[in-house]
Amino acid sequence: MKLSICAYSARFILFVFLSIIFITPAANAEEETHLIIPLIAYGATFYFDDEEGRPQFYKSLLASVVITHGLKAVVDKERPDDSGDDSFPSGHASGAFMGAAFLHKRYGWKYAWPAYIGAAYVGHRRVEKDKHDSEDVIAGAAIGILSSFYFTTSYKGVEIQPYAEGDSYGIALRTAW
């Protein structure tokens, strides 16, 4: 049976994630995973020869970093382990979910699901290690996802988006020909 490029890509992402978990000591696995997910998303723009996607990735990443670190500077929330006052929002979750959401929005769910699993793992570990409270991770994840969904368009195919404008609500379908 011949595997599609999609199946190979999903398996590769899952392989990288599982390798990090089982090879890296459990105490630090999320440290690499939160960087690898956006790197894989960026690498996908080269894999697909997607020159239009790269600027969208840059914008998503920049927005995620600026919003996350801007809020960290303004909110001044103490970490649960008392190691600093920059707990809100989680930068690790923001970066991991930004990469997963970029893959999702640009290339589809079939490429993104392993990245979302990895991003959820990152968030879970940050709470488990007392670096963040759940709301820090949820806020970081929301920033990452929203920054990618705002700046990223679908690569090829149909894009489905909900909309709300004035008194009307619905679903918009868009495709590239």
Beta-carbon contacts of 25 under 8 Å, excluding residues fewer than 6 positions away, are none
Containing structural domain, residue 32: 5-175
Span 74-125, pLDDT tens digits = 998 999 998 988 889 999 999 999 999 999 999 988 889 999 999 999 999 9
Burial 93-119 (b: 16+ CB within 10 A, else e): bbbbbbbbbbbbbbbbeebbbbbbebb
For residue 59, how many other CB atoms are within 10 A of its CB? 15
Q: Is the pTM of this model over 0.95?
A: no
Q: Which two tokens stand for residue 104?
A: 């999702």
Q: Among positive and negative, which fits the CA dihedral 19, 20, 24, 29?
A: negative
Tell me how far apart the alpha carbons of residues 112 and 93 are, in angstroms, rounded to a whole number. Answer: 15
Q: Work out how many domains the chain is built from and give that number.
A: 1
Helix axes 109-128, 134-151, angle to 10 degrees: 150
Q: What is the pLDDT along the chain (177 residues), one digit of tens a residue?
A: 444 555 555 565 555 555 555 555 555 666 777 888 998 999 898 888 899 999 999 999 999 999 999 999 999 899 999 898 888 999 999 999 999 999 999 998 888 999 999 999 999 999 999 999 999 999 999 999 999 999 999 887 656 666 777 888 776 666 655
Determine the pLDDT at residue 91.
Answer: 92
Q: How many CB atoms lie within 10 A of CB 143?
A: 25
